[in-house]
Structure 1
Amino acid sequence: MSTLNSVESRDGTVIGFEVLGQGPPMVLVHGGTNDRSGWTSVLAMLAERFTVHLLDRRGRGLSTAERGPYELRREGEDIAAVAESAGPDVYVVGHSYGALCSLEAALVTDAIGRMFLYEPPAPTEGRVVVPPGTIERIRAAAAAGDSAAILETFFHEVIQMSTRDVQMMRGTPIWSARLSVAPTIVRELDSVENFDISDRFGKITIPVRLLLGTESPAYFRPAAGAIAAQLPHADLVPLHGQGHLGVSGDPDQFVAAVLAFTGR
């Protein structure tokens, strides 16, 4: 049985989250074009071992009443607020853009005990996340109110999914959730393009593990390597046979990787 709760972030935005399970505290931070339902495939397995806090990042689900202009660091403050309500010694698991948000959170709170980050996206020398022209096509789709076109462009051109795989995704229950939050991808891609990988991450002294799908777009590996190089206690591990959506593609392997970082 789950309960709904909320906390107020530093700028006054109310961040809602769902709590279930038993054990040490865990906060799950979903990626772009998603909400907390993105963890459905792994939730039961994690809730057997942790008290899981499933937050909706600002702009969706339980967290739609935003305050002030959008900034990535505000998302870090949101996660920090949830972690502080759940902690201490919280295990944060972040996927994709949620992994970037989690890094920002670890800079502003000591409630996080360790982090598991699945493919944080960021440009590096010679590698771009968003191909030329893609953001313009996504902006045009957003201006036209065409959420399906936003998602299809994003998944084809940024995540590099095949037409067949995108069509299969359209047939799943989570597609409607993705449609409802699709417009947020514009601001998130802007933040990705300007993400600062620097020695500021040297302040994050907790253990951090970065997960990389062996079939993911090539830009994820140098980004993860560059981030890990700035963290005092970080390593990289593979998710075999999976791309960027391995949480649902191979839930058992993903959960095994999460648990391996705790020894549980």
Structure 2
Amino acid sequence: MPQATPPKEGEEVELVTSADGTEIAFERTGSGPPLLLVHGMVGDRDNWEALELRSPLAEHFTVCTMDRRGHGDSGGEGPYEIERVFEDIITVVEEIEEPVALFGLSTGGVYALGAASRTDNVRALLLYEPSLQFGQGAEAAESYTEMMSLLDTGKAEEALLVALEDFGHLSSEEINLIQSSPLWQEQMELVHTVPWEIEAITGYEFDPDQFRNMSTPTLLITGSESARPYKDGIKRTEEALPDVHVATIEGHGHAGLATASERFLEEVLTFAGE
């Protein structure tokens, strides 16, 4: 049975057991209605602190931040089927008990969407550019081969750049911003998880009919300058959900949580606070 790693020193971490026996770590901060944050690619729950988002949100919500399986203090390693990640999120959601506002970033948005369709304990769903087309196409296959070669030879930084450029579709300006932030070192330590993400999401068949009867109010957040795959993901998700609103952060891209944090917080506080 997969086991979780010991919690980081000084942190009060809750461990819950997912459907397949994997231990999933999460922690709670603040007070108010619960808001569960699901991180994106090459991330863990520490990302929200590095982005300086956890504390502002904790002034209004009980902010719950989780480590997806194979990340941070959670157990399990990849590759894994995407349904296991859905189950992990549902396990945390139901541990919280009170109806949850659920937010997912990028690949985390795909996982949050899948989980929300399988539980009744989500009162609001917020997604920042769910990566439905993550790792698809001939160019992505070439990038995958290059990234794996770099990982095999211990070149974590070069592999991370390939991941952010070719799979994250980030601009050079966005990558420079990440490189100058505390996120960079964290992401280099987690770049080995990118192949697991690619295998999980490319093996997932997005079926719009699965969401036709999902009544959860949903906010889709996108950047006006984001790459085409993210715009396509927003469009497909919007078309699939019956109760959905789209908010666009003008002048920003996929790294909008970092480059336009005040605008992002405004959208989350307005929607999840209702």
Q: TM-score, normalised by structure 1?
A: 0.91
Structure 1 residue corresponding to 2:108, chosen from 98, 107, 113: 98
SS at match of 1:17: strand
CA distance 1:238–1:163, change in 2 (3 Å)? closer
Alignment deviations for residues 156-205 of structure 1 (CA, whole Å, 9 cap, x no partner):
22333344543442232221211111111112123333332211122422
**Structure 2 equivalent of residue 147 of structure 1:** 156
**Is the 8 Å Cα contact of residues 109 and 128 (structure 2) preserved in structure 1?**
yes
CA distance 1:216–1:67, change in 2 (3 Å)? closer
> Quick one: which amino acid aligns to residue 223 of structure 1?
G
Structure 1 position 243, deviation (Å): 1.0
Asked whether 1:253 is paired with 2:263, we answer yes
**Structure 1 Cα separation of the partners of residues 72 and 160 of structure 2:** 18
**Structure 2 equivalent of residue 134 of structure 1:** 143
Matches within 5 A, 1:111-122: 111-122=121-132
Q: Percent identity?
A: 30
**Structure 2 equivalent of residue 207 of structure 1:** 217
Structure 1 position 87, deviation (Å): 2.8
Asked whether 1:191 is paired with 2:164, we answer no
Structure 1 residue corresponding to 2:119, chosen from 78, 96, 109: 109
201-210 or 54-63, which deviates more: 201-210
Alignment deviations for residues 222-246 of structure 1 (CA, whole Å, 9 cap, x no partner):
2111122111212211022211111
Give the gaps of 5 or more residues in structure 2. Answer: 1-9
> Quick one: which amino acid aligns to residue 83 of structure 1?
V
**Structure 2 equivalent of residue 10 of structure 1:** 19
CA distance 1:163–1:209, change in 2 (3 Å)? closer
**Structure 2 Cα separation of the partners of residues 163 and 228 of structure 1:** 28
**Structure 1 Cα separation of the partners of residues 80 and 27 of structure 2:** 23
Matches within 5 A, 1:1-264: 3-40=12-49, 41-63=52-74, 65-66=75-76, 70-123=80-133, 131-163=140-172, 165-198=174-207, 199-263=209-273
**Is the 8 Å Cα contact of residues 129 and 193 (structure 1) preserved in structure 2?**
no
194-203 or 254-263, which deviates more: 194-203
> Quick one: which amino acid aligns to residue 15 of structure 1?
I
SS at match of 1:183: helix
Give the gaps of 5 or more residues in structure 1. Answer: none
**Structure 2 Cα separation of the partners of residues 159 and 172 of structure 1:** 17
Alignment deviations for residues 208-228 of structure 1 (CA, whole Å, 9 cap, x no partner):
111111111111112111122
How many correspondences in the alignment? 261
Structure 1 position 26, deviation (Å): 0.9
**Structure 1 equivalent of residue 3 of structure 2:** none
**Structure 1 Cα separation of the partners of residues 234 and 176 of structure 2:** 29
**Is the 8 Å Cα contact of residues 105 and 128 (structure 2) preserved in structure 1?**
yes
Structure 1 position 136, deviation (Å): 1.4
CA distance 1:245–1:67, change in 2 (3 Å)? closer
**Is the 8 Å Cα contact of residues 156 and 162 (structure 1) preserved in structure 2?**
yes
**Structure 1 equivalent of residue 4 of structure 2:** none
85-94 or 15-24, which deviates more: 85-94
**Is the 8 Å Cα contact of residues 59 and 184 (structure 1) preserved in structure 2?**
yes
SS at match of 1:34: coil
**Structure 2 Cα separation of the partners of residues 251 and 190 of structure 1:** 30
**Is the 8 Å Cα contact of residues 121 and 129 (structure 1) preserved in structure 2?**
no
